[in-house]
Amino acid sequence: MAQTLAEQILSHAAGRTVQAGEVVTARVDLAMVHDSIAPSVIRILHEQLGAERVWNPDRIAVAIDHVAPAANLQTAESQNNLRSWARSQNIRNLFDVGRGIAHQVLIEERLARPGLLIVGSDSHSTAYGAVGAFGTGMGATDIALALATGQTWLRVPETIRVQAHGRLRSGVTAKDVALKIARELRADGATYQAIEYHGFDSFSLGERTTLTTMAIEVGGKAGIVPPNGPALANEYAPSWLTIEPDARYSRTLEINLDDLDPQIAAPNHVDNVTDLRNLGRINVDVVYLGTCTNGRHEDMAAAARILRGRRINPQVRMMVVPASSEALQLAIADGTISTLLAAGATLGTPGCGACIGRHMGVLGPTDVCLFTGNRNFRGRMGHPDAQIYLGSPEVAAATAVAGYIASPNEIERT
């Protein structure tokens, strides 16, 4: 019987042919742990499961990205414990402070590959679908079990097919597609399901990652872009991983890229999405460019194209936090960082930044923020009274110049 990509990957991982609805025990190809959850994972692994060694150190990645560099004594000590533990377990894939956000780094390091089953201690582990992997987020106990046994259990999800038509216009981006999907599916529209994204063969790896990091924002268990197109041309995809035309989808969402406008998610829900032009005037205090959703080199470069020769509005603080050291180095090499700094932006250490409201530019009670990240929940980036609007890097740059939420086309006409 024809299978979706999720069914194919989970069949491979389970060692038998499975279909949506079945509960399977599956082999994990890669497990990711980050600094925020690692203390719990290590405690459960050793104290509750009695496991002295991890199942395979080469199939485990550890990232220090959530509070990087350490913000207080507690996190500093915790990170030192994590470093010692990783060394004692011979885990070579330790991505320390400054290397960047786990999801971006695992893709750059080619640890995330097509057809793999990847579990991460982070809900945005759906990111790995950008390279055609089944990536899913889990809590500390599940990750500890995966580290101990190399296995996990999963219900094979049904799949929603997102089918794009046409091409994006200038000033409209992958982020606007991701927000449009949230607008149509709503915050729970893909709960217990996977999403397959079709019609995106021309998208870059970064654009694909923007889509897949946001699969969780509609409840998705995984979000998978078929590993086709120029962005994946040098990537080996296993021969068993193919698009099967007769695969069964629970629903198909058609999106016409040609007439899509810049989208904005208004506080405090990711699916509270409107066309930017219908938003009205929203003055902002902070523009925050970064995260696993939109902190890559191409995102910073897109913002720099708009900010070149312009100054950000004196009422606005603009923070740029690259998703990885590689993204930062590329942005230094081609002058992107110079342009952003000349326009008045401030640069932070590659990592998650203030996305979890812990450090590096947390918001105060009166702050209104245009954020390129993936969540605008109340209190997400700091004070619960702060207002967070989600938009693209281009909208972020235009907003920094205007002082209110603006479309790139509006600024570029001036």
Partner 1 sequence: MSRIWRFGDDVNTDQIVPGRYAPYMTSEAELRKYPFIEARPEFAPGVQPGDIIVAGRNFGCGSSREYAPQALKLVGVGAIIAPSFARIFYRNALNLGIPLFEADLDWLSDGAEAQIDSGSGVLHTSRGAIQLPQPPTWMQEIWQAGGIVPYFREHGRFPGEAAR
Note the residues at the interface with partner 1 (CB under 8 A): 14, 22-26, 35-37, 39-40, 44, 48-49, 66-67, 71-72, 74-75, 78, 120-123, 125, 137-142, 145, 151-154, 187-188, 191-192, 216, 219, 221, 269, 356-358, 362, 375, 377-380, 382, 384
Residue labelled with tokens 């920094």: 400
Q: What angle do CA 289, 37, 92 make, to 5 degrees?
A: 90
Bridge partner residues of 280 (DSSP): none
Query: Is the CB of residue 137 less than 8 Å from the CB of residue 122?
Result: yes
- Closest approach of Cβ 81 to partner 1, in Å? 11
- Quote the least distance from Cβ 243 to partner 1, whole Å: 25
Q: At its nearest, how many Å lie between partner 1 and the CB of residue 260?
A: 25
Q: What phi and psi, each to the nearest 5 degrees, are found at residue 157? A: -80, 150
User: Please, what is the minimum distance in Å from the beta carbon of residue 148 to partner 1?
Assistant: 9
Which C-beta is closer to partner 1: that of 23 or that of 333? 23
Cβ closer to partner 1: 137 or 262?
A: 137
Q: Which two tokens stand for residue 342?
A: 């000349």
Q: Which is nearer to partner 1, 191 or 366 (CB)?
A: 191
Phi/psi at 104 (nearest 5 deg)?
-65, -40
Dihedral over Cα of 71, 72, 75, 76: its sign = positive
Nearer Cβ to partner 1 (66/297) = 66
Sheet holding 193-198, edge to edge: 222-224, 193-198, 158-165, 251-256
Can you read off the two tokens belonging to residue 380?
A: 């997400």
CA–CA gap between residue 405 and residue 264 (Å, rounded): 9
Q: Give 191 or 283: the residue with its C-beta nearer to partner 1.
A: 191
Please state the φ and ψ torsions of residue 124, each to the nearest 5 degrees.
-80, 15
- 139 or 364: CB nearest partner 1: 139
Half-sphere exposure of 338 toward its Cβ, with a 13 Å CA cutoff? 6
**Rounded least distance, CB 47 to partner 1, Å:** 10
Q: Which two tokens stand for residue 364?
A: 């105060």
Q: What is d(CA 177, CA 183) in angstroms, rounded to the nearest whole number?
A: 10
SS3 162: strand
The phi, psi pair for 290, rounded to 5°, reads 165, -160
CA 336 to CA 329: how far, in whole Å? 10
Give the shortest CB-384-to-partner 1 separation in angstroms. 5
Integer Cα distance of 241 and 229 in angstroms: 15
Q: Cβ(379)–Cβ(373) under 8 Å?
A: no
Whole-number minimum distance, CB 132 to partner 1, in Å?
21
Closest contact distance (angstroms) between CB of 379 and partner 1 is 5
State which residue, 138 or 319, has the beta carbon closest to partner 1.
Answer: 138
Shorter beta-carbon distance to partner 1: residue 205 or 273: 273
* Residue whose CB is less far from partner 1, 213 or 399: 213
Q: How far is the CB of 160 from partner 1 (least distance, A)?
A: 14
Pick the closer one to partner 1 by CB: 55 or 192. Answer: 192
CB 160 within 8 A of CB 197: no
Find the shortest distance in angstroms from Cβ 314 to partner 1.
29
Structural element, H or E, at residue 388: strand 387-390
Query: The tokens 């009670």 sit on which residue?
Result: 365
Cβ at position 410, least distance to partner 1 in Å: 32
Give the CA distances from residue 5 to residues 12, 18, 127, 253, 400, in Å, rounded to whole numbers and listed in that order.
11, 12, 15, 17, 40
Closer residue to partner 1 in complex, CB, 8/336: 8
